[in-house]
Amino acid sequence: MIEKMKLLHITGPKNDIDRVVKQYLEQYDIHFENAMTSLNNLKNVRPFVETNLYKEAAKKGEELKQYLEASRRTDLQVTPEQAQEIILGAYSQLEDVVVKKEELNGKIRELKEWMAQTAPFIGLDFELCKLRDFHFIDYRFGKIQVENYHKLEEYVFHNPYTLFYECNNDSEYVWGVYFVPHTHLEEVEAVYASFEFEDIEVPDDVEDTPRQAFEGAEKLLREHEKDLERLQMQALELVKVREQEILAACECLDSYCSNFGIRKFAACTRSENGSGEYYILYGWMSKKDAEKLQREIAMDEKVNCVEEEPGNDVRSKPPTKLKNPAILKPFELFVEMYGLPAYHEMDPTLFIALTYTFMFGVMFGDVGQGACLILGGTLLYKLKNMRLAGVVAVAGIWSVVFGFLYGSFFGFEDAIPALWMKPMDNIMDTLMLAIGFGAGLILVAMILNMINAVRAKEYGRLFFNQSGLAGLVCYGFVVICALLFVTGSGLPAAVLIGIAVGVPLAAILMKEPLSHLIEKKKDIFPEGSKAMFFIEALVEGFDVVLSYATNTISFVRVGAFALSHAGMMGVVLTLAGLEKGSPNWLIIVLGNFLVACLEGLVVGIQVLRLEYYEMFSRFYTGNGKPFISFKKRNQ
C-alpha cells in the first residue's frame, strides 16, 4: 500500500532554521520540495542563500578526530559557535606539529621515489659521480626485456663501440647501463631502441656507488619514520587532553553541516512590519508523522506549521512511499523496476507477489528443487539482504506446492503420488488451463484499471478504454462463450453475441469523442478530417481485437514451461541411466543443478514479462516520484 501523505508549510525566523531542523525535523523522514518553485512569482520572496561558516571548522575537526578512537562517544552538548571555538583552538595548538608532519611526509615521499629510481642499479660497483667526468663517452641507464636482452648480447659482443653493464634482473627485465663513444651515439642508440631498451633517469647527485647511496637512504628513511612517529604521539597527547570537547564539537558541526543543505529547498521572505527575515519550507511527511510533529511544535512560538491534504490543487505532486508487510518487501523491486505508482494509484505489490509466485510455481513445479530455492533464497535474503533472493524464496514455496500437485521430486515423477495431475500425461489440458488462467488474469487487470481510473477521476478511461468497462464487457463475454464452447454447452444467440461484443467494441473505437462528451469538453471530435478519424479508429479496433487474442495466447507459455520442466528432467534421468536400474547419481545431481539454474532463470524472466506486458500495461502507469527522506539523504 501507499503511505498517506500530508504537505507541511513550515515557517519561522531565518536565524532559527538550524534549531528547528535539529530539534524537530531531523527526527522524521521528510521529503522537501523546492519552495522557490511555487513562490518565485512573489516579489518579497528570494532563495535562501547563505554561506556555511562552520564548514572549515568541521573539516579541521575531522583532522583532529583521526587522533582519537572512532568508537568513542560523548554526552557533552555545545552550540555551533562553541564548537567552532573548540576546534579552532585545538587545531591552532596542533598546527605546528601538523606542519612538521607534512614537511616530514614530503621528505619521506621524495626519498622513497629516489630509492625506487636507484634500486634497480645497486649492482653497479662504480661511483656515479665519476661518470660526470666522462668527456668522450656517453652512457644511458635503463631496462630491457629478458628475451630482447639475449639478442642484444650478441649485438654488443660483435660491436666494439658499445659496452653493456648488467646491474640487476628479474624474470621479466634486465636493468643496466650501456656506454658508447660520443661519435657513435646516434647509431648505437637507435639499435638499443630497436631492442626496446627503455631509458630510466637516475639521480645525478649521488657521490657514492648506488648500493652505498641506497643504504644511506634506507637509514635516513628509518630516521624520518621515527621522527614522524614521535610527532604523531605528540599530536595525540595534545588532542587527548581535550578529547570530550573535541568529540562534542565535531558531532555538533557534523550535524550542522549535514543539515545546512536544507537551505537549498527553502525560501526567505520579510515580515510586513520589516522586523526580520523568515524562512519558508515545503515538505511531505506521512500522515502519522505529520500529526506527531504538529503535537511537538504546538507550544513552540517561533515555528508555524500548516498541513495540507494532497489534491489536485497541491503545489507539487505527492511523492510515493510504499508501506508493505515484510513478506511483500522483496517484490517492491519489480514495482520499482517498472516505475513507482503515482500517489493516487493502486500499489501493485500484492498483485505481483501473488501472481508472480503462483505462475512461477505452475511453471517450475518440483518439490525438491523448490525446497532448494526456499533454502537458498532465504539464506541470501537474510545474510545479504538481496531482495531478488526474497522473491526466489517465496516463489519456491509455490514450486513445492505444485511439485506435490504434479508428483515431481527432483525430476522423479514416480517418487511421490500426484495430488492433481501430471502435465506430460495431460498436455492439452495443461495448455488450455494456462490460457484460461491467463484470460482470468487479464479480466482482473481490467478491473484494477477501472479502480485506478476512478481514483484518478479519468472517466473516459473508466468507461471506454480497451481495459475499461467496455473492454471488460467485450472481452469477458468472449471468454464466457469460449468457456461454454469448451465445456460443450450451448452458445448464446448470435444477436446477443453481436450486441455484447459489438457495442462495447464500438465504444472503444469511439473512446476519444465519447470521453470528451462525458467530460463536457467543447470539441468532441479531435481536430482534422473526420473520415481520417474513422479510418484510424477501424485500424485501432483491429489492433485491439488482435491484442486481446495475442495477450491471451501468450499465457500458453505457463503450461508450456510446466511441460518443459518435466521433459528436461526426463532427459537428465535418461542420461543417468535410470531405466537400467543403476543410475549415475552424479549426473542426476549435476542435471538437477543445471536445470534448476537454467530453467529457474528463464521462467523468472518469462513470468516477469507476462506481468509487465500482459497485465501491468493494462492498469498501471508507474509514473510516481520516489519519496526521498532528507535525513537519509545526509547519511
Phi, psi of 308 (to 5 degrees): -140, 130
pLDDT at 635 over 60: no
Q: Per mean pLDDT, which range of 67-71, 281-285, 418-422 is the poorest?
A: 67-71
Task: Give whole-number Cα distances, 179 to 136, 138, 150, 300, in Å.
Answer: 10, 6, 18, 87
Domains in the chain (CATH in brackets) are: 133-203 (3.30.70.2750), 443-553 (no CATH)
- Which is nearest to 512 in space by CA: 466, 447, 450? 466
CA 234 to chain centre: 45
Q: Spell out a b/e string for 435-455, using b for 16 or more CB atoms within 10 Å of the CB, else e.
A: bbbbbebbbebbbbbbebbee
Here the cell at position 554 is 501468450
For residue 377, name the pLDDT band (cuts at 50, 70, 90). Answer: very high
Q: How far apart are CA 466 and CA 469, in angstroms?
A: 8
For the segment 212-224, what is each residue's pLDDT rounded down to a tens digit? Answer: 888 888 898 899 8
Question: Degrees (nearest 5) of the Cα angle 22, 25, 28?
Answer: 120
C-alpha dihedral (402, 408, 413, 418), degrees to nearest 10: -40
How many other CB atoms are found less than 10 A from the CB of residue 102? 10
For the segment 16-34, what is each residue's pLDDT rounded down to a tens digit? Answer: 898 898 889 988 999 999 8
How many other CB atoms are found less than 10 A from the CB of residue 5? 23
Is the separation of the CB atoms in 315 and 38 below 8 Å?
yes
| pLDDT score, position 73 | 66
For the segment 64-93, what is each residue's pLDDT rounded down to a tens digit? Answer: 887 776 556 677 778 888 888 888 888 887
Higher pLDDT, 452 or 488: 452
SS3 content of the chain, % helix, strand, coil (to 5): 65, 10, 25
pLDDT at 148 over 80: yes
For the segment 561-586, what is each residue's pLDDT rounded down to a tens digit? Answer: 999 988 899 899 888 888 777 888 99
For the segment 115-127, what is each residue's pLDDT rounded down to a tens digit? Answer: 887 888 888 888 7
CA 361 to chain centre: 28
| pLDDT score, position 509 | 86
Q: 464 Cβ partners below 8 Å, 6+ apart? A: 470, 507, 508, 510, 511, 514, 515
Is the separation of the CB atoms in 200 and 120 below 8 Å?
yes
For residue 433, name the pLDDT band (cuts at 50, 70, 90). Answer: very high
Q: Is 3 helix (H, G, I), strand (E, B) or coil?
A: coil
- Which is nearest to 548 in space by CA: 605, 489, 482? 482
The fraction of the chain above a pLDDT of 90, given in percent, is 40
H/E stretch holding 450: helix 427-456
Here the cell at position 377 is 533464497
The span from the first CA to the last CA of the chain, in angstroms, equals 26
Quote the mean pLDDT of the chain.
87
| pLDDT score, position 213 | 83
For the segment 583-615, what is each residue's pLDDT rounded down to a tens digit? Answer: 889 999 999 999 999 999 999 999 999 999 999
Is the separation of the CB atoms in 285 and 65 below 8 Å?
no
Q: 427 Cβ partners below 8 Å, 6+ apart? A: 563
For the segment 131-142, what is each residue's pLDDT rounded down to a tens digit? Answer: 777 888 888 889
For residue 314, name the pLDDT band (cuts at 50, 70, 90). Answer: very low
For the segment 217-243, what is each residue's pLDDT rounded down to a tens digit? Answer: 889 889 988 988 888 888 888 788 788
Higher pLDDT, 7 or 539: 7
Phi, psi of 246 (to 5 degrees): -65, -45
Tell the burial category of 619 from Cβ atoms under 10 Å away from its Cβ (0-12, 13-18, 19+). Answer: buried
| pLDDT score, position 272 | 58
Q: What is the DSSP string of 302-358?
A: T-EEEEE---TTSSSPPPB-B---GGGGGGHHHHHHH-PPPTTSPP-HHHHHHHHHH
The one-letter code for the residue type at 195 is F
Phi, psi of 405 (to 5 degrees): -65, -35
Higher pLDDT, 114 or 378: 378
Question: What's the whole-number mean pLDDT along residues 505-532?
Answer: 77
- Which is nearest to 442 in space by CA: 557, 608, 610? 610
Sign of CA dihedral 452, 454, 459, 462: positive
